């Protein structure tokens, strides 16, 4: 019986961790539309910003076009705000 309870507890912890990760990965749809590879970069940058209170950065795809998308990532009260500053053409 203890073995079953241990397994159930591990499953619950894993599910909670997965839910936490999904909350942390949330990016606005407008950012997701830029491209999956760009979203991965935004998510990685958001993890770094989350660990530095008050930090704010802006990133853009490196295609060099004048009208490229620009995303701002800011830490506020332990949470990360990801917002599109300028959309992709």
pLDDT tens track for 17-30: 766 665 555 677 77
Average pLDDT, the chain: 80
pLDDT, tens digit (0-9, with 9 covering 90-100), for 29-77: 777 777 778 888 888 898 899 889 999 999 987 765 666 788 999 998 8
Tokens of 4: 């079953």
* HSE, side-chain direction, 13 A CA sphere, residue 79: 7
- The pTM of this model reads 0.63
3-state secondary structure of 85: strand
* Cα 66-69-73 angle, rounded to 5 deg: 130
């Amino acid at each position: 019986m203890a073995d079953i309870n241990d397994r159930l507890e591990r499953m619950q912890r894993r599910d909670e961790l997965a839910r936490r990760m999904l909350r942390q990965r949330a990016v606005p749809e407008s950012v997701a539309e830029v491209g999956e590879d760009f979203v991965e970069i935004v998510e990685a940058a958001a993890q770094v910003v989350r660990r530095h209170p008050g930090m704010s950065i802006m990133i853009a795809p490196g295609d060099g076009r004048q009208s490229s998308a620009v995303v701002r990532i800011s830490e506020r009260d332990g949470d990360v705000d990801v917002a599109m500053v300028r959309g992709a053409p």
